[in-house]
Structure 1
């Protein structure tokens, strides 16, 4: 019995975690042949079709990664992997026994589902010679892999950073002027999907003329207390000055009255 490996063409398939992927190959015209699906990454048999006996079987590898995830189509002999994960990425192929057939093998890439990036204010600095304010921002994502994080102004790319490892956190800074009316956004993308977060400057950046935003609550309380103390001290000094002048006037009048007697 001869064995023919179908490795003529690799069909590239990219999917997102949680989706289902079908390794679609129409073998309805083949008869009396066994069809074997193998995961090359694990060098393991994962499905077997015995057409003569009408048996369709799926198997799991030792670590259980394919458990309850494999489905065979009785008509086309296609294999579907449901609720796919990054651990299922790799090469899949067919073995056809008892005949010769040109077909396709599959290379499956699985990407994590992307979250929307988060934009936060890193710091705010005001120029002493101008009312303009520069706002320092940072765009962040957590536990990602095989992605690119980018800042855009309109349709123009300002900066970007990429990572190929898994489970890494990324941060990308941006410096803008508060008065800037341009449209900014932070984009997280991989080869098959993207997530975008638009920047609202008015919420994250504040002018220095606004004491509520420029001064922290503690500093504002301290300034209020100092102002009150200065006011109280001024009132005390004023009252003391008035009383001192009145006392001096009274002493002058008494002295004047005591120094002259009637004839």
Structure 2
């Protein structure tokens, strides 16, 4: 299948900070794309992914980026366009977590203080990146946007209210935005992974993941490679009509 991604410029936010981000970057690299990835704190991890992108046949650039900073989105897009001369694909993978780290909040919503920063970064921060990128994606004539979500938005966890509210807001944005940019050839979708097969399973998540596997028709977790390949297809010339959709990569969970 011809994907038509050779030489096209791809921006992946959070491209070095998760399995999905890095595997998606490598999948684009295999198609000969120019791939810009962002990092928040771990520049070394970003450099490692960039080296692997080059090894797979792509060009690479790393850019520091804070999803919660109001002016960061325009600066990020400007940096990528200056590097490559344009922008064809945007993959929104970056997530802002509270200080307690990835996962549900430590307390119920009614006892949570300072949740506004997490909500603003995950919803408005991602919207700012999309808004900054859209003029360039329109100019490309066949621009693509994929926002990475989570099955948690449908099968919620305790204390996940803020994260779920932000992510479902992006679902609504995607469905509406498809109408705004469709006439310009820009396709906009959400990819919703299930629990992705992790490098290691923390003890506090082991029972939850085991339950997930037992409730999945495939009896296994999806892999980050499978999620990345789905994103690449949606962003390729092979996809001409899928837009405004939530594409689930969950093994049927």
TM-score by length of 2: 0.25
Structure that is richer in helix per residue: 2
> Higher relative contact order at CA 8 Å, sep ≥6: structure 1 or structure 2?
2
TM-score by length of 1: 0.24
Structure ID, larger Rg: 1
